[in-house]
Amino acid sequence: MTDALSHLRVLDLSRVLAGPWASQLLADMGADVIKIERPGSGDDTRGWGPPFLKDEAGNDTSEAAYYLAANRGKKSLTLNIAKLEAQAIIRQLVKGSDIFIENYKVGDMARYGLSYEALKQINPGLVYCSITGFGQTGPMADVAGYDFIVQGLGGLMSITGERDDLPGGGPQKVGIAAADIMTGLYSTIAILAAIEHRRITGEGQYIDMALLDVQVAAMANMNLNYLCSGKVPSRQGNAHANIVPYQVFDAADGEIIIAVGNDTQFARLCTVLGCPEYASDERYIKNANRVRYRDALLPLLQARLITRSVEDWVRLLEPEGVPCGPVNSIAQTFANPQVVHREMRIDLPHPLSGSVPSVANPIKFSGTPIQYRNAPPTLGQHSHEILQQYAGLSDGEIEALKTKQII
DSSP calls for 206-262: EEEEEHHHHHHHTTHHHHHHHHHH-PPP---TTS-SS-SSEEEEE-SSSEEEEE--S
Judging by DSSP bridges, how do beta strands 32-37 and 9-13 pair with one another? parallel
Q: Quick one: which H or E segment has residue 12?
A: strand 9-13
CA gap 272, 66 in Å, rounded? 44
Question: 159: phi > 0 → left, psi -120 to 50 → alpha, else beta; which?
Answer: alpha
Are residues 201 and 124 in contact, defined by beta-carbon separation less than 8 angstroms?
no
Are residues 27 and 72 in contact, defined by beta-carbon separation less than 8 angstroms?
yes
Alpha carbon of residue 385 to chain centroid:
30
Among the options 12, 32, 180, 213, which is catalytic? Answer: 180
Q: Would you call 253 a catalytic residue per the annotation? A: no
- Across 227-256, b (16+ Cβ under 10 Å) vs e yields eeeeeebebbeebbeebbbbbebebeeeeb
Are residues 48 and 67 in contact, defined by beta-carbon separation less than 8 angstroms?
yes
Closest residue by Cα to residue 247 from 237, 256, 238, 234: 238
User: Measured between alpha carbons, how far apart are the two ends of the chain, in Å?
Assistant: 35
* Helix pair 263-273, 294-305: axis angle to 10 deg: 40
Cis peptide leading into 319, omega within 30 of 0? no
**What type of residue is 326?**
P
Please list the active-site residues: 180
